[in-house]
A and B are shown apart, each in its own frame.
Chain A
């Protein structure tokens, strides 16, 4: 342990460059995974609130495009095994000065899902706004949506960033605003094991709708797949860039330390000893870089979460499992990036030492 640290201290400049390269890559992986995971988990949490089953228009790719007849919600609510069914309209519209804000039209029975910290439940022509939006808009009395003025009746607090930075209104007002009856129904059940029976009954109501358990909907939701795939691709690029950075820097390090490795070979240390030595050095850098990247990422996510510009919509979360995965990725990155230069170092011919001074 001491010897690799001494070697790293001796080659401070290149150690610093490898460290920076790894820290940037690991931070990028952390941030993209945390932000995309945050988006997915926020939207999932929103759908899962009082929603064991979700009903959408059949075949739509995005809940924002879904349009179903809200009257069916009452029929579903009366079905055996259903505790409650509520309708939602999901939309987005500009609210001066913000270019886009999430707008949620909800049926009467869903207002209780929003924890009011100020004011009361809205009636038609009124809205309640998330606390984040309320702060961003500097405590507005009214807001204008599509040229219509709405009175701000209350302020609610939600841990879900999309809601906390959004506007909630009655289903009727939202329907008029977005010209649709309802986007989705969220159905809660008395007994989760009966979900298949209820889903079957809902699907028989009309061929235009599709009911799924919320979990299965989330698993198959295209938008989440797109976000996840994009995040994986960007994460993989950051991983590759990290490896390339390590390979190029370690190649320079090995070149600078040819004599050292030549001596090791001449005194009979095996190739594996040299490879292990270099791997140990980069692993130490990787461990420090991981800790720094974790700290930096938490700091950046905290800044983003509280930045008015993002209205709380970007709410990344670093879970223990994400941290563990990124830790493994960091170690693999260090190992892969070091392996080729280390193998080269282990093959340095001790003859080069003799040729420098011999005849």
Chain B
């Protein structure tokens, strides 16, 4: 799926957060949006992922604008995955139940958990596993419906270096399998794994580099 953002601008009152943003995310690529806090990367991620409507400009998915996608809930469930800075697993559900929550095919849950190295933790609750394992479960939840693209906002923000690199490696591995990743992060190590790096500063894209 190709995602295009055209002339995106976002204002909160008279303060602009994004200005003249034009970007194109290729299918199956690993794109990192990097920048300091307040640079606008999370806002851009939210707009690209349909969670936020821009003040002006347009986002298209394979040429279709958000308004043309039909039921946005159904579109998200089939095409988009999310990973947040906090794992946001539902505490009263086991890891398996969390992952299966939105699964279109329940049988895909176990193999996915195995491939992410958390298969043995299926019956555990989020407070019974480590931070890295929680984030792997959150990634599994995002991947369970084989979405075209996964958006991740500071997914390693609460992880130590070892677990953070593990997460990047997972993203890299799944992107090679055809799932696109768009990751907002202030961690510059992500650049070593991403195919495309979008650098942001003061609400503008200052550099796009491809590897």
Contact = CB atoms under 8 A, between A and B. Distances in A.
16 contacts: A3-B93, A259-B88, A266-B76, A266-B82, A266-B84, A267-B102, A268-B73, A268-B75, A269-B102, A351-B46, A353-B84, A354-B84, A356-B85, A357-B154, A359-B35, A359-B37
A7 B92 contact: yes
Contact of B88 (A9, A263, A270, A351): A263
Interface string B42-53: 110110000110
A44 interface: no
B85 A357 contact: yes
Residues of A contacting B: mostly: helix
Contacts of B45: 354, 358
A358 B154 contact: yes
B86 A356 contact: yes
A271 interface: yes
A266 B31 CA distance: 20
A350 interface: yes
B39, B78, B154: residue with the most chain A Cβ atoms closer than 10 Å: B154
Contacts of A3: 93, 97
Given A3-B97, A269-B102, A359 B73 contact: no
Nearest to A261: B90
Interface residues of A, number: 26
B41 A268 contact: no
B117 interface: no
Contacts of B186: 359
Residues of B contacting A: mostly: loop
Interface string A264-303: 1111111100000000000000000000000000000000
Interface string B61-86: 00000000001011111101110111
Given A3-B93, A10-B92, A269 B77 contact: yes
A265 B36 CA distance: 28
State the 3 A-B residue pairs at the shortest beta-carbon distance, nearest first.
A268-B77, A358-B42, A357-B85
Contact of A359 (B42, B52, B86): B42
A354 B73 contact: no
Contacts of B52: 351
A9 B90 CA distance: 13
Instruction: Determine the interface band of chain B, counting residues with CB < 8 A from chain A.
Output: 35 or more
Contact of B141 (A9, A267, A271, A356): A267
Interface in A317-359: 349-351, 353-354, 356-359
A240 B7 CA distance: 53
A290 B142 CA distance: 40
Given A268-B102, A354-B46, A263 B41 contact: no
B184 interface: yes
A353 B88 contact: yes
A232 to B, nearest CB: 40
A263 B43 CA distance: 18
A357 B86 contact: yes
Contacts of B42: 354, 358-359
Interface string B129-152: 000000000000110010000000
A123 interface: no
A260, A262, A358: residue with the most chain B Cβ atoms closer than 10 Å: A358
A78 interface: no
A358 B85 contact: yes
A267 B41 contact: no
Contacts of A10: 91-92
Contacts of B141: 267
Contacts of A6: 92-93
B38 interface: yes
Given A263-B90, A358-B85, A359-B35, 10 more contacts: A6-B92, A263-B88, A266-B51, A267-B81, A268-B76, A268-B145, A271-B73, A357-B84, A358-B184, A359-B37
Contacts of B86: 353, 356-357
B92 A267 contact: no
A260 B157 contact: no
Given A3-B97, A354-B153, A358-B153, A267 B91 contact: no
A350 B145 CA distance: 19
B208 interface: no
